[in-house]
A and B are shown apart, each in its own frame.
Chain A
Amino acid sequence: MAKKTVRKKRAHLAKLEDAALKTKLEKHFANVRTLLDDSNISAIVLADGQTFKGKSK
């Protein structure tokens, strides 16, 4: 499964006094793309390749 998610990162710029720069940076920081990938590249051993609804007969 890989899906668009969106765990938005709010811009934290309370300390910035320059309002114009603050706005510009907020806009820049909001330009993120996010996604989930269910690949499991680094597991030393893959546990189960046939998860969920493996029928047993």
Chain B
Amino acid sequence: MKICLVTACTFDGERGTADRSEPLDEDSPLGVLSLAAATRGLGHEVTVCDLNHFVRELAGPGDLAQAAAEWVGSTSADLYGFSTISSSYPFTIRVAAAVHDRAPSRPIVCGGPQATVTDRELLRACSWIDVVVRGEAERAFPDLLSALAGGAPIEEVAGVTFRQDGVPRRTTDAPVVLDLDSLADPAHDLDIGVNRRLFGSVEIGRGCPFACEFCSTNDFFRRKFRLKSPERVIREMRAVRAAYGHETFSLVHDMFTVDRKRVLAFCEAMRVSGDGMRWSCSARTDCVDEELLDRMAEAGCNSLFFGIESGSPDMQRRMGKDLDLDEARRIIASASRHRISTTVSTIVGFPDETRDDLRQTIGFVVNAAREERAHVQIHLLAPLPATPLTRRHQDRLTLDLDVYRDTEGGNGSAEERAVELPLIAAHPELFPNFYVFPTLLPLQYVDEARAFIRHALRRCRWLMVALHQESGDMLGLFDEWRAARGGPAPQGRYYRELPFVRSFLAFVRATYAGRGHDAIDVMLQYYEGLLNSAAQGARDSTMRAAAGVDDPAAMPMLAEGIRLLTLRGSAIAVIERLKAHESPTSEEATRERGLVVERTKADLYQLTELPEIPAAVLALCDGRRRTDEVIARFSSSGITFGHAPLPVVCRATLDHLHQSGYLRFVSPEPSS
């Protein structure tokens, strides 16, 4: 048979433009690629349509689902298989409907996490979908194809849901794949985005034994923890590296580090291999320790995803996660020391979350931001279908249009939302993740606090850390901010945009500056300086480059891309103190410094704090003074450098700054 497998789009409502968001498209679609390999191995002809690729690269204006269906339908397959996840489920269903309209005789099969837990509801609601494959599909899907081709009756295929006399009927669950080494390598050759990705993806195992109340992963992979052998994983990594050049890998598993001995065995195999490949994985802070982190780092681990979920010990117990938060803080810090970056992911908006719980989660997040390699996230809880939490509150979920627009807005275009919203409103049983739980705290308040903290941390991380260190209560700070601006912020993108950060810095200046909070004062100046100064632009067309300090007509000015901030206090010293949970010394907080700022290619600010003499000289180089004028002003400024003649010192410093790339010399173009 000719089979077309369609990946689930991973829309991210915060990427792209206001008209259309871009998918977060980092990992290869391993589930579909594994299924493609299993299916191809039985002699079927398989194509993979990557909807993320379609949205990013091919889609034009107009109805996205219709256009995607035209693209998918152009494969003229005998059967279409759609992978599903919660965030793009309405879109997938619409694409499937449009594919069915074009080729009504071709079976449409859905699989993946969302269809697995909404199988019967999906078949009741969507007449154009014929079968759902539940859970891991590498065995069930080929069996289904055989049945559809006239083999065994479909009711004998384990792990599927189909219609019998118009009524959805489940067959018995298919067993999970116990020996993951027995699976074929994923068909990376069918991944159209593989060369564009920043890293390769290799599945290292399946199944998480934990039972967090909000999580849906157990419904798909069950709780049976399984790993591929180290030899198998390393072989797959080498194959991907050889074919596509990736040296860094995402090792995909919801919870790799459950079995310490097996993690150590993998690390040892990686170390012995000598390949030098780097890798990331998911972990729990109570499933790693100092020694394990050491071995993981030695074996090439460069990044860990930690689902912390809540900074409140009470919430930890209530949601069934039960992490020791002090241990979590230590592990995040330890990972940083081992040069392993961490994603510290938290969730707010739990039904029984109190103000104190929220305050503790926000405090945990801002505190984690002190770790130089920690990337913090605060998500709004989504009611994923069939989780214990959703089951308990199923009848009390509501469709909150503001939250829908801001956080789960599908592909983000108003037209698409207008089409999808009635679908979502009509089928809460299919799309509960677009609804919200009933909460003790007003959800708009929780969501606004989340936006405030996230974006303020992105904009001015070290000012937020300083505020946390001084005040200890970031939710209280949010309340002060909200009161100062006269109530809730406008919905939508307000916190993502520049006016927010201007207002926020003005608020901090009015509320906290000059009140003895040294770290806040220095960080505020630093971020105000960054915001209010532009990097030196390219050369004015009326100027020409001059040779250097010996050119008599030359006028020194900052090199392109360089900014010079003159601050009272040392931004670098204060940041180092904040990292160590310390306060700056009086000298660090008050002595005037020259800070050179460059934006690096990796979009980081590279800060260089200059010694007194270069800072003073650079501050005089405004592109309007000639070299001799700079030297004269410097020499009469009152600065001393032992008994050295100041003109000589200034000239040598100018030359040094020029050679170091901070300065350029220009001359006016001679008029013709």
Instruction: Give the interface of A toward B (CB within 8 A).
Output: 1-3, 5, 7, 9-13, 15-16, 18, 21-22, 24-25, 28-29, 31-57
Contact = CB atoms under 8 A, between A and B. Distances in A.
B642 A24 contact: yes
A44 B18 CA distance: 13
Contact of A46 (B455, B573, B652): B455
Interface majority SS (helix, strand, loop, mixed), chain B: mixed
Nearest to B549: A15
B343 A33 contact: no
Nearest to A44: B498
B531 interface: yes
B656 A29 contact: yes
Contacts of A36: 600, 604-607
Nearest to A2: B372
Contact of A13 (B606, B608, B652): B652
B458 interface: yes
B341 A1 contact: yes
A1 B336 CA distance: 10
Contacts of B246: none
B570 interface: yes
Interface stretch (B188-196, B265-273, B610-618): B610-618
Contacts of B15: 47-48
A56 B659 CA distance: 49
Contacts of A9: 608, 656, 660
Contacts of A3: 372-373
A2 B461 contact: yes
B170 interface: no
A15 to B, nearest CB: 6
Contact of B644 (A10, A24, A33, A51): A24
22 contacts: A1-B372, A1-B373, A2-B372, A2-B461, A9-B608, A24-B641, A25-B652, A28-B641, A29-B653, A32-B608, A32-B610, A35-B606, A36-B604, A37-B607, A39-B527, A45-B498, A46-B458, A46-B496, A47-B15, A48-B24, A52-B26, A57-B85
A33 B459 CA distance: 22
Contacts, number: 172
Nearest to A18: B648
Contacts of B658: 12
A51 B375 contact: yes
Contacts of B606: 5, 7, 34-36
A12 B662 CA distance: 12
Interface string B645-657: 0001100110110
Given A29-B611, A36-B607, A54-B24, 12 more contacts: A2-B462, A11-B656, A13-B652, A21-B649, A21-B652, A22-B652, A28-B641, A40-B459, A47-B15, A50-B12, A53-B282, A56-B24
B296 to A, nearest CB: 16
A48 B459 contact: no
Q: Which 6 A-B pairs have the closest CB atoms?
A: A12-B659, A9-B660, A37-B605, A33-B609, A56-B10, A53-B305
A49 B648 contact: no
Interface string B501-544: 10000000000000000000000000100110000000000000
A1 B604 contact: yes
Given A2-B372, A25-B649, A46 B459 contact: yes
Interface of B: 8, 10, 12, 14-15, 24, 26, 85-87, 113-114, 216-217, 250, 280, 282, 303, 305, 341, 343, 345, 372-373, 375, 377, 379, 384, 454-455, 458-462, 493, 496-498, 501, 527, 530-531, 570, 572-573, 575-576, 579, 600, 603-614, 641-642, 644, 648-649, 652-653, 655-656, 658-660
A37 B26 CA distance: 24
Given A3-B372, A37-B604, A44 B497 contact: yes
A10 B659 CA distance: 9
A11 B613 CA distance: 13
Contacts of A45: 493, 496-498
A32 B493 CA distance: 40
A50 B26 contact: no
B87 A29 contact: no
A47 to B, nearest CB: 6
A12 to B, nearest CB: 3
B444 to A, nearest CB: 18
Contacts of A57: 85-87, 113-114, 216-217, 384
A47 B530 CA distance: 19
Contacts of A47: 14-15
A35 to B, nearest CB: 5
A29 B603 CA distance: 26
A29 B375 CA distance: 34
Nearest to B463: A39
B639 to A, nearest CB: 12
Contacts of B607: 34-37
